[in-house]
Amino acid sequence: MEWDEDLDAQGLLCPLPVLKTRKRLKAMQTGMVLRVLATDPAAVIDIPHYCAESGHALIGAGEIGQAQYYLIRRI
In 1-75, alpha helices (H): 16-27, 43-54
Residue 75 exposed, middle or buried by CB count within 10 Å (0-12, 13-18, 19+): exposed
Question: Quick one: DSSP state of residue 21?
Answer: H
Phi-psi region of 67 (alpha: psi -120 to 50; beta: other; left: phi over 0): beta
Active site residues: 14
